[in-house]
Structure 1
């Protein structure tokens, strides 16, 4: 995996796919067989289908790299007597980065996705102010 510093806009960069910030990593968990799973997670939108996409990871210091992400619906088990807040979080969409080590995604890193994926995860329209 190669990390590179973000610098001015080149012609090649202007041809890149427009990407939108989906999340800022508040926590991350290295899970065997799954990859680096990131928090926060998201509510499941009506008609959700799991998807895979090449995303852009931008660390707080500005270094960036592309990674394959899996956006999957996951079930959280809160035991026999979950609170009402926990019951609302039973089914969630989680983002996992395939073949990425925890050290490469510090807390505060941003995950940028296509506008289509942004809409699928969050519903509604994408915010142009968050586009890169």
Structure 2
């Protein structure tokens, strides 16, 4: 394999490792963190890429993956699973994110929007009950 980017996850050695029992190991990689779980290319501008991990990181590239910037929102608690990134079809700087923490017994909704390539984020959960976790968000075309 040839690396095409730096590690876009936390890369925490304590959460990376084999799963399963002492005799046979699983090869499913779902029990441990360190996976790019959400990925989107902007339909509005080729080369704007968004990546979200199952350990709570969000990165953006504005040059087709040549370089990446960690734009993880401070409003998002550590170890959130980025379940989807929806890149706006109208504006390359705008993306919508749904994250979940239900595996950590946190059922609050985590829906965010950026309009400046992730420099700032806005939590958009007004009107959604605190015990309604969310997995998906899409911009209305």
Alignment TM-score, normalising by the size of structure 2? 0.23
Q: Which has the higher contact order (CA 8 A, sep 6+)?
A: 1
More helix by proportion, 1 or 2?
A: 1
More strand by proportion, 1 or 2?
A: 1
Alignment TM-score, normalising by the size of structure 1? 0.24
